[in-house]
């Protein structure tokens, strides 16, 4: 079969590059009866949700930005409902996910060839601990969030889902097992191989989130956490403050060890933006230092299939420029808080899971 057989083509033989709502996808994508009886898809509390997610991912394969047509075709073949290879390309845990409620989308682009290398499961274990600590805090306070976030996101239930995009033709069992054993809601999908600085995987994450936030899930913040980054549980609360696009300082960067805006602790007036003197970017920030609302996707210059504008290392400033016209429009999500660190190595105690591993012993100033 060809891409046209799976995806449908225009009269000139080109695959459609338009955004498809999952509900509008043809029967070649979405067949609930077959999904219900499939032995290769992981279970879900909702057949419709399962079908929408599966169809959305295959629609992204059809458009395949920054991915070769041959790789896209192999992914489509191996994610057919009747493919014995489906479970090696796509896995999820949707058991607690509810439809149509505000959803925070945390995503991680990852690769076997990344700097985490053999320690990758341990880095994902650190993130899993952080996310679970946040979710536990939410439960302990009766599923309440910062009151200033209620005007935009409401006072009802909210949820978090973690989307992992692998730069490869299959996913990695060691990574999946860590996420699954921690019982975190997740979608883990293969999108590769590309070896394009993570840009293809970042774009794929945005494309999947665009479809899900416009179909079976709800709108909410989009948060990027690199596999080798370190974040604190408070970050996921702070992210709900976003209206359009907001930032926090990023550790292990900048001239003082922090990159981003600094504020007067009393007046909360911005004093400056810490950055290296040679950094002349319009928006000098890291990929893990900004959050934006899903409502931005599909507007302006973010209609897809290309959301991430660059194909070289970096690109954060160029992306933010698609949403904001000037740095004064950036929303402060916190004032001088320390909740995220770029390329933060694991300590030996945490690599070996010793009791003296201390990941969260850092004061937070929300």
> Is 28 domain-assigned?
no
Answer positive or negative: Cα dihedral of 154, 160, 166, 169: negative
Chain length of the chain = 366
How many Å apart are CA 292 and CA 201, to the nearest integer?
18
CA triple 292-107-232, angle to 5 deg: 80
Which segments are annotated as binding site for Mn(2+)? 228
**Cβ-Cβ contacts under 8 Å for 79 (sequence gap 6 or more):** 54, 57, 58, 61, 86, 89, 90
How many Å apart are CA 66 and CA 72, to the nearest integer?
10
CA triple 285-115-321, angle to 5 deg: 20
Q: Where are the alpha helices (DSSP H) in 1-142?
A: 3-7, 32-37, 47-63, 69-78, 120-140
How many other CB atoms are found less than 10 A from the CB of residue 354? 10
Active-site residues, by number, are 316
The pTM is what? 0.92
Strands (E), 219-335: 221-224, 230-231, 245-247, 250-251, 258-263, 270-274, 290-293, 331-332
How many other CB atoms are found less than 10 A from the CB of residue 177? 13
> Is 327 domain-assigned?
yes
> Is 194 domain-assigned?
yes
> Is 315 domain-assigned?
yes
> Is 24 domain-assigned?
no
> Is 129 domain-assigned?
yes
How many Å apart are CA 316 and CA 339, to the nearest integer?
19
Contact of 290 with 312, CB cutoff 8 Å: no
Which segments are annotated as binding site? 228
How many Å apart are CA 225 and CA 53, to the nearest integer?
21
Compute and round to an integer the Cα radius of gyration of the chain: 20
Nearest to 92 by CA among 229, 198, 212: 212
How many Å apart are CA 134 and CA 323, to the nearest integer?
28
Nearest to 83 by CA among 41, 48, 27, 50: 41
> Is 55 domain-assigned?
no
Instruction: Quickly tell me which residue has 């302006």 as its tokens.
Output: 300
Q: What is the domain count for the chain?
A: 1
Q: From first to last of its 366 residues, what are the pLDDT tens digits of the chain? A: 888 888 877 666 666 655 555 444 443 444 545 555 555 666 666 777 888 888 899 999 999 999 999 999 999 999 998 899 999 999 999 989 999 999 999 999 999 888 787 899 999 999 999 999 999 999 999 999 999 999 999 999 999 999 999 999 999 999 999 999 999 999 999 999 998 899 999 999 999 999 999 988 999 999 999 999 999 999 999 999 999 999 999 999 999 999 999 999 999 999 999 999 899 999 999 999 999 999 999 999 898 889 999 999 999 999 999 999 999 999 999 999 999 999 999 988 888 878 777 765 544 444
How many Å apart are CA 99 and CA 50, to the nearest integer?
11
Say which CATH number the domain at 181 has: 3.90.550.10
Per-residue pLDDT, 73: 95
* Domain span at 222: 88-351
Nearest to 226 by CA among 318, 116, 312, 336: 116
> Is 123 domain-assigned?
yes
């Amino acid at each position: 079969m060809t891409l046209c057989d799976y995806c449908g083509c225009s009269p000139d033989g080109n695959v459609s590059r338009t955004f498809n709502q999952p509900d509008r996808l043809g029967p070649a994508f979405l067949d609930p009866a077959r999904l219900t009886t499939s032995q290769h898809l992981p279970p879900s509390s909702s057949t419709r949700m399962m079908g929408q997610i599966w169809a959305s991912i295959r629609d992204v394969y059809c458009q395949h930005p920054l991915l070769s047509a041959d790789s896209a075709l192999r992914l489509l073949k191996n994610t057919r409902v009747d493919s014995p290879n489906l479970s090696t390309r796509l896995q999820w845990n949707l058991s607690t996910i509810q439809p149509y409620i505000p959803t925070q989308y945390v995503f991680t682009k990852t690769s076997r060839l990344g700097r985490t290398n053999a320690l990758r499961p341990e880095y994902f274990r650190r993130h899993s601990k952080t996310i679970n600590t946040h979710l536990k805090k939410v439960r302990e306070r009766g599923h309440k969030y910062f009151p200033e976030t209620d005007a935009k996101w409401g006072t009802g239930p909210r949820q978090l889902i973690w989307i992992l995009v692998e730069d490869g033709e299959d996913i990695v069992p060691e990574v999946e097992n860590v996420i699954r054993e921690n019982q975190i809601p997740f979608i883990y999908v293969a999108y590769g191989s590309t070896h394009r600085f993570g840009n293809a995987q970042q774009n794929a994450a945005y494309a999947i989130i665009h479809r899900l936030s416009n179909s079976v899930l709800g709108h909410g913040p989009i948060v990027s956490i690199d596999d080798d980054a370190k974040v604190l549980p408070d970050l996921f609360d702070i992210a709900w403050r976003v209206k359009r696009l907001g930032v926090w300082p990023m550790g292990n960067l900048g001239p003082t060890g922090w990159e981003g805006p600094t504020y007067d602790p009393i007046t909360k007036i911005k004093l400056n933006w810490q950055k290296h003197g040679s950094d002349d970017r319009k928006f000098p920030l890291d990929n893990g230092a900004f959050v934006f609302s899903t409502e931005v996707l599909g507007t302006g210059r973010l209609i897809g299939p290309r959301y991430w504008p660059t194909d070289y290392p970096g690109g954060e400033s160029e992306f933010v420029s698609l949403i904001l016209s000037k740095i004064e429009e950036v929303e402060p999500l916190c004032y001088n808080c320390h909740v995220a660190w770029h390329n933060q190595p694991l300590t030996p105690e945490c690599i070996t899971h010793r009791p003296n591993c201390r990941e969260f012993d850092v004061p937070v100033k929300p």
